[in-house]
Amino acid sequence: MTSLLVDINALRQKALHELEGASSASGLEAWRVQYLGRKGEVPQLLRTMKDLPVEERKKLGQEANTLRNELENLYLAKSNSVTEDSTSASSQVVSSVEGGHLHPLTLALRRAQQIFAAMGFTIVEGPTIELAKYNFDGLNIDAEHPARAETDTFYLKDLPELVLRTHVSPLQIRGVLENKLKPPFKMFYYGPSFRSEKEDATHTSLFQQYEFMVVDETVNLANLKHIITTFYSLFFERAVEVRFRPSFFPFVKPGLEVHMRDQITHKGGWLEMAGAGNVHPNVLKNINVDPDKYQGIALGGGLDRLVMLKYGIPDIRLLYSGDLKFLKQFS
Amino acid sequence: MQISYNWLKEFLPTLTASPEEVAEQLTLHSVEATVANRIEVDPTITVVKIVKLDVHPNADRLRLATVTDGEKEITVVCGAPNIEVGQVVPYSPPGTTVHDEEGGSFKIKEAKIRGVKSPGMLNSLRELGLHREHAGIWVLPPDVPLGSKLADHIPPDTILNLDVTPNRAHDLLSHRGVAREVAALLQIEMKEIAVPPLPMATSEVEGYTVAVADAEDTPRYIGALLQGVGGRPAPLWMQMRLLASGTRPINLIVDVTNYVMYEVGNPSHAFDRAKLASSAIGVRRGKENEKITLLDETVVEVSPEISVITVGDKAVAVAGVMGGMGTEIGDTTTDIFLEVANFRPYLIQETSRRLNTRTEASTRFSKGITPTLASEAAARLVQLLIELGGATLQGVIDTHPEAFASKVIEFRPRRVVSLAGTSIGDADMRKVLERLRFAVAVQGDVWQVNVPSDRLDVVIEPDVVEEVIRITGLGAIESKPLESLTPVALPKLVYWREAIRDLLVEQGFTETYNYSFEPEVEAALLDHDQEEKVEVLNPVSPDQKYMRARLLPGLLKNLLTNKDDFHRKFSKQERALFEIGSVFRKGKNGRVPEVVEREHIAGCIVGGTPDVQQVVAAIANALGTELPTNSFVGPLPAAVLKGLKYRLPVTAFEFDIADMISRAQDVSVPIQKLSELENANIPVVQFTQYSQHPSMYRDISLVVHTKASAQEVEGTLKEAGGELLKDVELFDEFELSKKDQKSLAFHIEFQALDRTLTDDEIDKVQGKITTALKKKYQAEIR
């Protein structure tokens, strides 16, 4: 019993003495492994105590743990002052900072911002916690629409007027009203949106969207086709083929879905890319635009989807994983 | 929704397009459709009758069924609980292909089951590939000829799957609706069903009355009384159509109600009059604490938000969703009260959500159906029950027998060209609308377009424009540029944000994107002043119920995720992360009431390089302004590092970047033209899969001749290490006092894509490495 106490003290002396001698980062690391690592001397000592009677185990365990804490704190303190530079005699290793990397979502958004600015679109940004009346009512989504159920939309406690925006389309209302835009205008907007749904390889509760809207006296679906074809061509850096098929969203009429010819996965066929259409007259009225004099087009799609297609990323959750092995790959 | 191609052909006698072509046309012009599967009954399956049942000598649950095909008899082993003498059932001889529970199929062989030979088997619906039902043998209608092949009565069919958008759920959730649409698309003949009209409705039949409490909740309620409905199974052709729609047959009356729902789109419900305690039928809102036991045996607590069907004011069914136990159709039912109604969509939608019950009926009612359809459906139900069940109609009650007003929309043809940017002639437009059953009265530039009653989605002029455009071809639209595309500059906020990103990347930071919900554990570690956090009412999980008030907790989580990487001894290693994103707290003067949302920037540096003070100074310098007050810049406390079990020190920063940018120095943001963006030739790196398993690290020191090139030694090392060697770095090289000798030291990283490597495996590879080095360089391993 007493011999264990002696062992603890002896270990302490040895460790402190050797710590003093550790002058380089690698030396310090070696010391840590020797005393505090998984197979280190302190954990080993602690393990020998498990067969002792309870009373002794408590007392000696306490001593050993105190030792461990002491050594850990000393190690941390020392590591603050020891740099990565090796101090051995003729070392040629230089501590260099490895270049950093931008997230592929940033790379994609930058490119999109550049393209739409070059096409003359006003860039607008808005809050991710948004008024329900901009997120739904202003966009012709009435109070009885199923998308407003708590199964789909995130609500806030005690703040019934607000939602976590389910798309960036509320900026059709906010962007126009706050900036007092009057036709003719072209707006490009984007950002995070939220849906309360089960996550899988193509769905996350947080995702990034991009959208544009044009309102003037004559803008139509032929113009929509030109804008989106130009955007996708410059984004994917090759000629793209786009087609429309009928679809439905409460804020456009006619409503359609935009497909792009698949030259990426080589399965042939068409890739679903975005929803679009002519702006619904109710939405025009909500932004103080006379639907008898003016008309609009709008298109919205997923930025995550664009990124996954462009960079061959198979699972959307990777984008939000925070994993360095993923983040460092793209720039 | 499942649609049977064969059933469509009943409505479209001249249909020659294949199921694939029909699906393609629907996808291009109406709703997305795909070919789901084919139904084909194995040609060897024979119709037989059970003539004798004996117990199996060696198994309690099994029986020996002797069956006849009209000529000979055989005996098979059968475990189904529902077989009885006299039933007509399907029999599969050995060699028949049957389906298993995983959707696969296998050929059956003559087998011995518990010691008794069984030359084949009797089949359930699942084994025939017709339905997932496997609780018993499929009992066929008694009039199917014995000895015939089942395939003779069940021609092969193809099932299409339609993804019907909400705007077309009023008219396309039925075979007749889809057939009408296909007729319009392919310009072929549509054969409508001929149904004799119902007699005039009266307010009372056989003592039965209907009282609807609120006509807005229940726009129409039809009650038809029939007597003498025979308790026989539905004919095989009807059973097959139900199966093709995804429902299994039950008994004639229930089958007819389901059949008409899939045929024309109006759900209905039959009550056994023998089980009704009163003849006063009603529809009203539920009362608090009223309970109903539904047909699926769940007990439902009713509330005023739910509509119920009452008998003598006792709630017996949830309107529009599901019938209740106690009044349901059974084998002995002969007299029925048939409900064919129309309910307010939102009411049924909410009821379905509250009770967490979705049925084919509730789906259709909650999307909205025209009340005009109720009488068509009622007439069809009555016709089928008379024809197939030998029933007699006693009378009909209808709370809204008067016609519903039809819609007329003023439509200007020029709006089509104007909105679509593609020109279509007036004559063609008119033909398209008439194909879609719209009646058109031309009055110069403005047409009066009469909308068919089932098209609840067509309400205003743009809806009519959509009808024209989707039929004549969205594919016909040609790209046309806008007249003026004068480029503009990026806003200052965007310009500076990107400049700061580039600055950080130059300093070695890697960018991360985290969720906007605060990670509970990491936030607790930082123990910041408790700003009023914004709480989510319905969070994705209980440990993510607050919106993040800071970015740092998310970065701490990233530190944990990347702990191994950040601690690598290799000098070429990223050791800093940053994020730009929104944070939230309760407060006034934000862009929305009660919530203040701000854009923050935050970063973490592991190991001390670069120096965090220098980094933020560089940002301040670039923007030409100071950091905001309340910025955090400095080391993470030791307690936090301990909590993360971090061995290296971490410094961090976080502050309001939008505030800082608003004070930034003036800058002239360049304007880029579209042509400058072409041929950018930015390299696009494709994603590479990486291992989720930890790396293992070893160092190796060796002594070689001074002439040996460190680079070559590294090359030999890499080659010997092979697949499992992920990275190598020379970290020390110096001459020894011994003549012509020098020491080289390498960090080595091992990793496998598919597993965590064991010490043994690494020792083996290490052994290969040392052998190669010794051989080539006469190295002395230290």
Which CATH number do you get for residue B448?
3.30.56.10
Q: Check whether A85 has a pLDDT greater than 80.
A: no
| B688 in contact with chain A, both atoms CB, cutoff 8 A | yes
B318 inside domain: yes
Asked if A289 and A172 sit in the same domain, the reply is yes
Question: Model confidence at A89, in pLDDT bands (50, 70, 90)?
Answer: very low
Which chain B positions have a beta carbon within 8 Å of A76's beta carbon?
A: 638, 641, 647, 649
Q: What is the pLDDT of residue A95?
A: 44
Which chain B positions have a beta carbon within 8 Å of A149's beta carbon?
A: 353
Q: What is the pLDDT of residue A80?
A: 60
Q: Between chains, do B733 and A91 touch, taking CB under 8 Å as contact?
A: yes
Asked if A221 and A323 sit in the same domain, the reply is yes
A97 inside domain: no
What is the rounded distance in angstroms from the CA atom of residue A133 to the CA atom of residue A141?
Answer: 9
Q: Between chains, do B690 and A325 touch, taking CB under 8 Å as contact?
A: yes
Kind of pairing between the strands at B280-285 and B209-212: parallel
Asked if B250 and B385 sit in the same domain, the reply is yes
Burial of B65 (0-12, 13-18, 19+ CB in 10 A): buried
Q: Between chains, do B513 and A100 touch, taking CB under 8 Å as contact?
A: no
Q: What is the pLDDT of residue A91?
A: 29
Q: Between chains, do B482 and A88 touch, taking CB under 8 Å as contact?
A: no
Q: Check whether A84 has a pLDDT greater than 50.
A: no
Q: Residue by residue, what is the 3-state secondary structure of B177-217?
A: HHHHHHHHHHCCCCCCCCCCCCCCCCCCECCEEEEECCCCC
The per-residue DSSP string of B674-688 comes to HHHHTT-----PPP-
Q: What is the pLDDT of residue A90?
A: 29
Chain A residue whose CA is closest to B610: A97
Asked if A125 and A34 sit in the same domain, the reply is no
Q: Which of A92, A101, A206 lies at the smallest CB-CB distance from B510?
A: A101
Q: What is the pLDDT of residue A52?
A: 80
What CATH number does residue A222 fall under?
A: 3.30.930.10
Helix, strand, or coil here: A213? strand
CB B753 within 8 A of CB B689: yes
Asked if A24 and A156 sit in the same domain, the reply is no
B671 inside domain: no
| B113 in contact with chain A, both atoms CB, cutoff 8 A | no
Asked if A76 and A108 sit in the same domain, the reply is no
- Is the pTM here over 0.80, yes or no? yes
A158 inside domain: yes
Question: How far off is chain A from B318, nearest CA to CA, in Å?
Answer: 20
Asked if A195 and A273 sit in the same domain, the reply is yes
The dihedral of CA B605, B609, B611, B616: what is its sign? negative
B99 inside domain: yes
Q: Between chains, do B595 and A162 touch, taking CB under 8 Å as contact?
A: yes
Asked if B301 and B415 sit in the same domain, the reply is no
Asked if B655 and B751 sit in the same domain, the reply is no
Q: Which of A117, A244, A321 lies at the smallest CB-CB distance from B474?
A: A244
Q: How far is CA A287 from the centre of its chain?
A: 31
Which chain B positions have a beta carbon within 8 Å of A154's beta carbon?
A: 536-539
Q: Between chains, do A93 and B732 touch, taking CB under 8 Å as contact?
A: yes
Asked if A73 and A141 sit in the same domain, the reply is no
| B422 in contact with chain A, both atoms CB, cutoff 8 A | yes
B200 inside domain: no
Domain-ending residue, one of B613, B643, B662: B662
What CATH number does residue B503 fall under?
A: 3.30.930.10
Query: Torsions phi, psi of A105, nearest 5?
Result: -65, -35
| B680 in contact with chain A, both atoms CB, cutoff 8 A | yes
A232 inside domain: yes
| B740 in contact with chain A, both atoms CB, cutoff 8 A | no
Question: How far off is chain B from A187, nearest CA to CA, in Å?
Answer: 12
Asked if B390 and B500 sit in the same domain, the reply is no
Asked if B385 and B324 sit in the same domain, the reply is yes
| B516 in contact with chain A, both atoms CB, cutoff 8 A | yes
Helix, strand, or coil here: B16? coil
> Count of domains in chain A?
2
Both tokens assigned to B601: 């920037």
What is the rounded distance in angstroms from the CA atom of residue B754 to the CA atom of residue A236?
Answer: 33
Which chain B positions have a beta carbon within 8 Å of A92's beta carbon?
A: 733
| Residue-number span of the structural domain to which A44 is assigned | 2-81
Average pLDDT of the segment spanning A89-109: 70
Both tokens assigned to B112: 């011995």
B480 inside domain: no
Q: Taking phi first (over 0 means left), then psi (-120 to 50 degrees means alpha), and beta for anything else, what does residue B120 get?
A: left
| B418 in contact with chain A, both atoms CB, cutoff 8 A | yes
CB B174 within 8 A of CB B263: yes
B583 inside domain: yes
With CA atoms as reference, report the closest residue to B119 among B43, B40, B44: B44
B199 inside domain: no
Q: Between chains, do A120 and B574 touch, taking CB under 8 Å as contact?
A: no
Asked if B621 and B541 sit in the same domain, the reply is yes
The per-residue DSSP string of B95-161 comes to T-EEE-TTS-EEE---EEETTEEESSEE--TTTTTS-S--SS--PBPTTSPTTSBHHHHS--EEEEE
A294 inside domain: yes
Both tokens assigned to B91: 């029999």
Asked if B239 and B340 sit in the same domain, the reply is yes
Asked if B462 and B447 sit in the same domain, the reply is yes
Q: Between chains, do B480 and A313 touch, taking CB under 8 Å as contact?
A: no
Question: Which stretches in chain B have pLDDT values below 70?
Answer: 527-531
Q: What percentage of chain B's residues is helix, strand, coil (to nearest 5)?
A: 30, 25, 45
Question: How far off is chain B from A226, nearest CA to CA, in Å?
Answer: 5
Asked if A221 and A266 sit in the same domain, the reply is yes
Which chain A positions have a beta carbon within 8 Å of B706's beta carbon?
A: none
Question: How far off is chain B from A97, nearest CA to CA, in Å?
Answer: 6
Give the single-character DSSP code of B274. G
Asked if A278 and A315 sit in the same domain, the reply is yes
> Count of domains in chain B?
6
Domain-ending residue, one of A81, A96, A115: A81
Question: How far off is chain B from A145, nearest CA to CA, in Å?
Answer: 8
Q: Which residues in chain B (315-374) have CB-CB distances under 8 A to chain A?
A: 345-346, 349, 353
Asked if B169 and B126 sit in the same domain, the reply is no
Q: Between chains, do B687 and A327 touch, taking CB under 8 Å as contact?
A: no
A92 inside domain: no
Q: Between chains, do A114 and B672 touch, taking CB under 8 Å as contact?
A: yes
Asked if A148 and A51 sit in the same domain, the reply is no
B683 inside domain: no
Question: Model confidence at A93, in pLDDT bands (50, 70, 90)?
Answer: very low
Domain-ending residue, one of A21, A48, A81: A81
Chain B residue whose CA is closest to A194: B516
Q: Between chains, do A100 and B574 touch, taking CB under 8 Å as contact?
A: yes
A128 inside domain: yes
A96 inside domain: no
With CA atoms as reference, report the closest residue to B606 among A214, A84, A36, A266: A84
Q: Between chains, do A150 and B504 touch, taking CB under 8 Å as contact?
A: no
A200 inside domain: yes
Q: Between chains, do B482 and A226 touch, taking CB under 8 Å as contact?
A: yes
Which chain A positions have a beta carbon within 8 Å of B687's beta carbon?
A: 311-314, 318, 326, 329-330
Would you tell me how many other CB atoms lie within 10 Å of the CB of residue B113? 17
| Residue-number span of the structural domain to which B740 is assigned | 696-781
Kind of pairing between the strands at A206-216 and A129-131: unpaired
Asked if A310 and A225 sit in the same domain, the reply is yes
Which chain A positions have a beta carbon within 8 Å of B419's beta carbon?
A: 220-221, 254, 278, 295
Kind of pairing between the strands at B299-301 and B291-293: antiparallel
Q: Between chains, do B478 and A225 touch, taking CB under 8 Å as contact?
A: yes
Asked if B259 and B125 sit in the same domain, the reply is no
Cα separation values, B608 from A28, B191, B559, B639, Å: 16, 80, 14, 17
Which chain A positions have a beta carbon within 8 Å of B569's beta carbon?
A: 25-26, 29
Asked if B463 and B586 sit in the same domain, the reply is no
Domain-ending residue, one of A49, A81, A113: A81
Which chain B positions have a beta carbon within 8 Å of A122's beta carbon?
A: 488
| DSSP run (H or E) holding A234 | helix A221-236
Both tokens assigned to A226: 């030109």
Q: What is the pLDDT of residue B121?
A: 95
Q: What is the pLDDT of residue A70?
A: 85
Both tokens assigned to B610: 């670069």
What is the rounded distance in angstroms from the CA atom of residue B721 to the CA atom of residue B175?
Answer: 65
Residue B431 makes CB contacts below 8 A (sequence gap 6+) with none
Asked if B436 and B356 sit in the same domain, the reply is no
Asked if A70 and A115 sit in the same domain, the reply is no
Chain B residue whose CA is closest to A324: B562
Which chain A positions have a beta carbon within 8 Å of B661's beta carbon?
A: none
Question: How far off is chain A from B119, nearest CA to CA, in Å?
Answer: 46
Question: How far off is chain A from B260, nearest CA to CA, in Å?
Answer: 27
